[in-house]
């Protein structure tokens, strides 16, 4: 289904910011490779192809960007491990395709502060880390901020302080706390299974609801309840949160937006009596 995606006062644009690869076993937790490899085939180093996909909301006043991808602050060794590839597409090129530059962004929402979601918050210029979006307010979950700044041994490799320190120093951060809606037609679901205080923006009007699933459901292959990542700090909470989301998503035909799926941008879901499954695939015009 091709949709000219307008919800409320916003035109919605998927913004591809990079291709990269993560370990397939880590991406699917307890699910055997014989099963996940059919849907997302691993390369010779057991990594699966993924993307970072932001979502841009545009109305006559604001350009709101949800997540900023891997960015480009990485050294060659790190780039090689994750095969981070900005040669085909990056934030700048994807924005310019629809007539925008980073300076046009008024607001950045980070679902959470893992490097593949917040890496593009900042960039390096003349050897210095500076904000990528010079005219933007950055909206960050207070709870995830606290986690990111005192991570556990399990998740410390996913957080890079260069993605946010300079924003704090320049007073560019607004914290998201509690069940608030900060823009018209945009509210949040809070989720703790993947990382404490992850924020899933919900864009809603009387006809359509779209949920930016971030790392609660990173790809459409992760729709089945037990298909959760080994990266999650509390996988059983992730499953509970997926269940809660799905009960409304099935009943009200919500659109789930997938940040890391290389092929499926968004889809509605169904319950076949046994499993949750993809229903309609949504293609943006």
Site residues for Zn ion, window 246-285 (CB under 5 A)?
Answer: none
Nearer of residues 86 and 195 to Zn ion, judged by Cβ: 195
- The CB-of-231 to Zn ion minimum distance in angstroms stands at 6
- The CB-of-281 to Zn ion minimum distance in angstroms stands at 24
Nearer of residues 22 and 167 to Zn ion, judged by Cβ: 22
Among the listed ranges 56-64, 183-191, 211-219, 265-273, the one in contact with Zn ion (CB under 5 A) is 211-219
What CA dihedral angle connects 140, 207, 62 and 110, to 10 degrees?
A: 20
84: nearest Cα among 66, 102, 69? 69
What is the rounded CA–CA span in Å between residue 197 and residue 177? 9
Nearer of residues 70 and 279 to Zn ion, judged by Cβ: 70
Binding residue for Zn ion, selected from 215, 232, 241, 261, defined by CB under 5 A: 215
What is the rounded CA–CA span in Å between residue 74 and residue 76? 7
What is the rounded CA–CA span in Å between residue 64 and residue 135? 11
Q: Which residues are CB-neighbours of 169 under 8 A, at least 6 positions away? A: none
- The CB-of-115 to Zn ion minimum distance in angstroms stands at 9
Binding track over 115-144 against Zn ion, x by CB under 5 A: ------------------------------
Nearer of residues 117 and 137 to Zn ion, judged by Cβ: 117
Q: Is 151 buried (19+), middle (13-18) or exposed (0-12) by CB count in 10 A?
A: middle
Among the listed ranges 8-16, 65-73, 214-222, 259-267, the one in contact with Zn ion (CB under 5 A) is 214-222
- Location of structure tokens 């060794």: 77
Nearer of residues 114 and 123 to Zn ion, judged by Cβ: 114
Nearer of residues 49 and 195 to Zn ion, judged by Cβ: 195
What is the rounded CA–CA span in Å between residue 252 and residue 90? 34
Nearer of residues 15 and 58 to Zn ion, judged by Cβ: 15
Among the listed ranges 58-66, 185-193, 209-217, 259-267, the one in contact with Zn ion (CB under 5 A) is 209-217
The helix (run of H) or strand (run of E) holding residue 116 is helix 115-118
- Location of structure tokens 């999650």: 232
Six-digit token pair at 94? 């994807």
Nearer of residues 5 and 140 to Zn ion, judged by Cβ: 140
Our finding on whether 114 is near Zn ion (CB under 5 A) is: yes
What is the rounded CA–CA span in Å between residue 110 and residue 176? 10
Among the listed ranges 22-30, 88-96, 124-132, 215-223, the one in contact with Zn ion (CB under 5 A) is 215-223
Among the listed ranges 21-29, 90-98, 106-114, 139-147, the one in contact with Zn ion (CB under 5 A) is 106-114
Task: Answer for the pair 258, 50: CB distance below 8 angstroms, yes or no.
Answer: no
Q: Which residue is nearest to Zn ion (CB)?
A: 114
Q: Give 234's Cβ-side CA count (13 Å radius).
A: 12
**Angle at CA 163, nearest 5°, toward 161 and 165?**
55
- The CB-of-154 to Zn ion minimum distance in angstroms stands at 12
Binding residues for Zn ion, how many (CB under 5 A)? 2
Hey, which residues does 11 pair with through a beta bridge? 6, 58
List of residues contacting Zn ion (CB under 5 A): 114, 215
């Amino acid at each position: 289904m091709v949709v000219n995606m307008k919800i409320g006062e916003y035109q919605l644009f998927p913004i591809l910011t990079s291709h990269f690869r993560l370990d397939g076993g880590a991406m699917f937790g307890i699910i055997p490779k014989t099963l996940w490899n059919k849907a997302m085939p691993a390369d010779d180093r057991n990594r699966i192809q993924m993307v970072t996909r932001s979502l841009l909301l545009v109305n006559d006043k604001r350009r709101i960007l949800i997540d900023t991808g891997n960015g480009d602050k990485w050294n060659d060794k790190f780039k090689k491990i994750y095969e981070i590839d900005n040669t085909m597409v990056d934030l700048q090129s994807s924005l310019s395709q629809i007539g925008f530059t980073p300076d046009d962004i008024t607001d950045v929402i980070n679902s959470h502060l893992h490097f593949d979601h917040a890496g593009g918050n900042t960039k390096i210029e003349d050897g210095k880390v500076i904000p990528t979006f010079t005219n933007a307010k950055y909206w960050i979950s207070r709870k995830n901020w606290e986690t990111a700044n005192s991570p556990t041994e399990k998740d410390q490799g996913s957080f890079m302080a260069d993605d946010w320190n300079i924003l704090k120093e320049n007073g560019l951060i607004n914290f998201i706390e509690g069940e608030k809606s900060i823009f018209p037609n945009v509210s949040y679901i809070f989720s703790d299974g993947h990382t404490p205080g992850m924020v899933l923006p919900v864009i809603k009007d009387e006809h359509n609801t779209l949920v930016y699933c971030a790392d609660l459901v990173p790809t459409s292959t992760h729709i089945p309840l037990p298909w959760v990542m080994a990266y999650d700090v509390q996988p059983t909470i992730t499953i509970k949160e997926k269940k809660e989301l799905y009960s409304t998503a099935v009943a009200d035909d919500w659109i789930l937006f997938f940040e890391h799926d290389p092929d499926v941008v968004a889809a509605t879901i169904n319950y076949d009596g046994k499993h949750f499954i993809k229903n309609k695939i949504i293609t943006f015009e």
